[in-house]
Amino acid sequence: MLKTACTHPDLLYALAKCGHGDKILIADGNFCLESYTHPDAAKIRLNLTAGIPTVTDVLRVITQTINIEQAEVMLPDHSSELPIYSEFADIIGDGISLNRLERFEFYEVSKKENVKIAVATGDLRLFANIILTVGVVTSA
């Protein structure tokens, strides 16, 4: 039995294949993975039911499994701050700022070839999408 934060076999396998600079999309329940991700991205569908799991549930596990170098979030059309941004920042920690992208700019980034994993969640919060850039592992 694995003793790691992530035990989902498909997600763990996809994370293990990522290298420095690769990206991971964690999407809310309204984000269409088929329309807005690269065809070669590993699509992990965790959206069990409405609200389960949330983007922040998945983010907590991923941040305990790999190092994060950068994060990008989707701005709503009215370009305001969303409460989920502070949740993201609290989970990611380590002074990593959230790069805010306009909605259609976020979609363009999510379609790029270097987005290796796209995770669908059941999160019902609007604009609760985040793209993580895999960081390097530093020696102890």
How far separated are the first and last CA of the chain, in Å rounded?
Answer: 25
Q: Is 6 inside any structural domain?
A: no
Domain at 100, CATH number: 3.40.1650.10
Instruction: State the total domains in the chain.
Output: 1
- 54 within 8 A of 121, measured Cβ to Cβ: yes
pLDDT bracket for residue 51 (50, 70, 90)? very high
- Residue 102 belongs to domain spanning: 20-134
pLDDT (0 to 100) of residue 95: 85
Strand partners, 44: 119
Mean pLDDT of all residues in 115-136: 96
- SS3 call for 33: helix
Mean pLDDT of all residues in 61-82: 91
